[in-house]
Structure 1
Amino acid sequence: RSGMRVVIELRRDVNPKVILNNLYKHTQLEETFGVNMLALVNGQPRTLTLKDMIHYFIEHQKDVIVRRTKFELNKAEAEAHIIEGLRIALDHIDEVIETIRSSTNEANARENLSIRFGLSEIQAQAIVDMRLKRLTGLEREKLENQYQELEKIIAHLKAVLASASMVIGIIKTELEEINRKFGDARRTLITVDVSKMDIEDLIAVEDVVITVTHYGYIKRLPLSTYRSQHRGGKGVNGMATKERDFVEHLFTTTTHHYILFFTSQGKVYRLKAHEIPEASRVGKGTAVINLLNLSQHEMIT
């Protein structure tokens, strides 16, 4: 057997939506759980809302992207700087080799290269660190391609640092990639705190029509039951009543509004509209005495 089917039979005057929502709230038909949204914000512990949590996560991701981009930019600029030095060395390869060979040591060679060819200390060190065989084997076309590629990378990284929208775009792309690799179907729903819910929170706000008959029958219908009529229309029968009974009160309201009932004994009772059972258009409704604690011979006026 796979799963279990539960059938709950209700009286005709019971709102099934309210019953179902109460089952969700008070039984294990639907499980809910809370999340401790405690996090460090600027070094201080704070309990965050879901919106705040997402905000600070995005801000953290922005910081990660910016720091990573700066690191990659510094690395690319350093590589480009060295390649610029190698291009200069390639233009004067014989003189560079002669300068290195005539120098007394590595430090002297680095200094002589810097003075003679206007190289930085880093560029000169990169040339000195290369074996002469490798230095003479440098290919200009390969160096030029590497340099042009680095220029494109540097331009892109600078554009990212200058554009907040590009940073957001990178975050979105990376999250989509994570979702593609590791995501699966959501198994839970994010909802409001049900522990603080009132029964009314489970009932939709709807426009309704309330009818009360002379003999004390009341019912609730959706306002949509009564469609607009054009000239020559046949209309809609509001309700069926017993013989000699007739509709005495008819008004519109919403499911969340109170309705006041004044009685022949000078008392007043109140009900929310959603507490009045919904009935069909032709149904007679529910006796008011079943909803209000009326005394004998007390009537709604």
Structure 2
Amino acid sequence: MNGDMHHVHSGGAGAGGLDVVLPAVAVVVLAGSYLVLAHRARTSNPSAGWGAWRTVSFLSGCTVLGIALLPPVAPFAHGDFRGHMVQHMLIGMYAPLALVLGAPVTLLLRTLPAARARRLSALLHGRPSRALAHPVTALVLSTATLALLYCTPLFNATMGRPVLHWFLHAHFLLSGCLFAWVIAGPDPAPARPAVPVRLVVLGVAVAAHATLSQLMYGGFLIDVHAPVSQVQGAAQIMYYGGDIAELLLAAALVATWRPTRNRRRAAPRAAATSARGPAAA
């Protein structure tokens, strides 16, 4: 660790108006597309409709994403490693959870023409999707890569190159969405494992975040060009911010688990009642 974070990071971010305009346009297009599809789902099948809470969740994710990519957070992230960690938390953990709980894939399946919906469904259940949606794969892409980023010169290299800088943002967002989807997403997933397995994977992620943040705070194995005070502040943000995000993810997992558990319990009772006939009823 050393004190040249501000110089390297500012150089990697760029200073043009496009750094504000492009993220803002992307977030608005994302939110607008979802609203259009949600309106189409409500009008094409009024009886089924589309849950308002899902729309609120997705728009909240878009809002969090916009906060992370626009001033004042973006300039703070460009000049201070603590700002980078705030941005990382928002892009990689909080925004993905809200976006995934909006069930965008289910919305697409409801609004696409039948032939395209079948193709999308086949893609989701294909072998590549099964491998990508495995909890261990999601854990490696979303959590294990953080060790590669902060314990090697990779982070410093991305800050000096705008293309890599934005690729890093994309990785945070996509890997975070993948992990949230695999653990607690309402959208269909190929061969989603049982809840205990997902809880174990989530526990491993919690432990990995805690370990990396403690190493960062102590300055062990970390290769980040930033003042010690900034690195220690970022470690605290990772530790406490990661815990809160993972607790929210665990709450989402429990919330999506209970209805399935109740249905499984209700099925044998319904079958037994049917077997006893009208007299038993």
TM-score by length of 2: 0.21
Question: As a proportion of its length, which structure holds more strand?
Answer: 1
Q: Which has the higher contact order (CA 8 A, sep 6+)?
A: 2
Question: As a proportion of its length, which structure holds more helix?
Answer: 2
TM-score by length of 1: 0.20
